[in-house]
Amino acid sequence: MSAVTKRSLAPSAEEQLQKRADAIRLQVTQGISKPFKKVIDVSSGDIHSTGMKPITFVRQVLAGCLCPDLLDSDTLPHDSQLRARKLLEHCDGGSVGAYAESSGMAYVKSTVAKFISARDGGLSSNPAHIFIASGSLRAITVVLKLLDQGEGAHRTGVMIPLPFPYTLPRVLERVGSVPLPYSLTEEAGWRIEKKELHRAIQASKGHCWPRAIYISNPGNPTGHVQSRESIQEVIEFAAQNNLFLLVDEVNQDTVFGMGSEFVSYKKVLAEMGPPYSHTVQLASVHSLSNGILGECGLRAGYIELVNVDEHVMLFAETLLCGDISTPITGQIALDVMADPPRPGDPSYCLYRQEVESRRNTLRRNMHRSAEFFNSLPGFHCPPVQSGVFIYPHLTLLPTALTHAQGLGVEAGLWYCERLLEEEGVCVGVNECMGKAVTQSCPPGSNWHLRMCVLMPPDALKEVLCRLQAFHCRFLKGF
């Protein structure tokens, strides 16, 4: 067993919380008495699990594809029937039960290419450079495997932001890449600082070979949105240091902050012109799971490769072929995400109404949650610009910190474990790093909670009530 495999056996704080949440959920179903009726998990972006209803058109097209008899009745709107028929034409045997190309259905890849081109103001997108994968994590893993090489001081180093998406370290661990953290500046809205990027890459000398930089834009879990100027600086940095740009853009449809606008890395790269537009290698990732659709269970996403050698493209397809192809149902939903109903279509008004309702719910919930956390002693939460997560800063009292140390557990994890045990609310947790830890706040006392807020308002109310009750008890104890 390799050293990488051995390390992966040790559960992370997130995995410990999830395992305990599953155990408590089982206890509740078995009738074991708890102070709550159900466990509410808001640590991930699984919006359907907390009560958000699916977008109707997505499910209607899926229903028509799964049960073609519906296409001969008046059960479904005409445009959803047409979409289902078209998609079935591109399935072998006219059935979603057939295998598809490992890199994705050609028809869906073409739809995604048109979506990207329209998003980026007409910039060309080649379907041959797009690969459908079973979610963004699988897509990121494929890219990292393409970059992975060398041993010891020549192992592949990947620059990652602090804070980072909670699933990212495990992916790096599995492929054997070395994480090279660079801290985002919280007091400046989680901005990426050029000098911090240079510091991080200099620190890598002697123990790995930096080959890529991972960017989350819009930020996950911070909710920051990069400006064009910031994106240009990162692209210039990548070019100077011969780094592959791995850009996670899964939250691109959830930007709601005043004055904030999503601009893709591909578009900025093209606007910069030569030599950058012809030489900087880029992979952009998007998926069904995050954002407004939130179809986590359908397991589909895409990755577009830019300025990557055609021979490398073949390796990407080979890696995807080593796994089962993305479920056809997920690819169908991805097609709908990339090409939703248009004005004049029978389903357009309802689709637009449902999407706008979700956006408004997200905006209101984010504002309500920020006000809530800012009213609790020990919490601070700046405005959020995008995404489905709120990421409040928690400063623990010295007495609580000392108690946790006496128990031999990390203070932030201990806080979240108690919240789960006493109120049945499962949140994510990250220790503050870098500039967030000041002389007035000793290491280990600063943490962030990660909480998905895209849920029905009544569900959010229950979560906040439980959290407030716990926090008040916690403060009284310390």
**Sequence ranges of the domains in the chain:** 3-52+358-477, 99-338
Q: Which residue has the tokens 């007495």?
A: 399
CA dist 8 and 4 (Å) reads 6
User: Quick one: which of 391, 331, 338 has its CA closest to 163?
Assistant: 391
Retrieve residue 380's tokens.
């601070």
The two tokens of residue 139 are: 């897509």
pLDDT digit string (tens) for the chain, length 478 residues: 334 433 444 667 788 899 999 999 999 999 999 999 999 999 998 999 999 999 999 999 999 999 999 999 999 999 999 999 999 999 999 999 988 888 899 999 999 999 999 999 999 999 999 999 988 888 888 888 888 877 878 889 999 999 998 888 888 988 889 999 999 999 899 999 999 999 999 998 888 999 999 999 999 999 999 999 999 999 999 999 999 999 999 999 999 988 899 999 999 999 999 999 999 999 999 999 988 899 999 989 999 999 998 877 777 777 766 666 789 999 999 999 999 999 999 999 999 999 999 999 999 999 999 999 999 999 999 889 999 999 999 998 889 889 988 998 888 999 999 999 999 999 998 865 544 333 444 555 688 999 999 999 999 999 999 999 999 999 998 8
Q: What is the pTM of this model?
A: 0.91
Asked if 398 and 445 touch (Cβ cutoff 8 Å), the reply is yes
Q: Kindly report the CA angle at 448 between 443 and 451, in degrees rounded to 5?
A: 165
CATH 3.90.1150.10 fits 3-52+358-477, yes or no: yes
Count of CB atoms within 10 A of residue 402's CB? Answer: 13
Tell me if the domain spanning 99-338 has CATH number 3.40.640.10. Answer: yes
C-alpha closest to that of 474 among 404, 410, 427, 408? 404
> Which phi and psi angles does 284 have, rounded to 5°?
-115, 135
**Nearest by Cα to 115 from 400, 339, 382:** 339
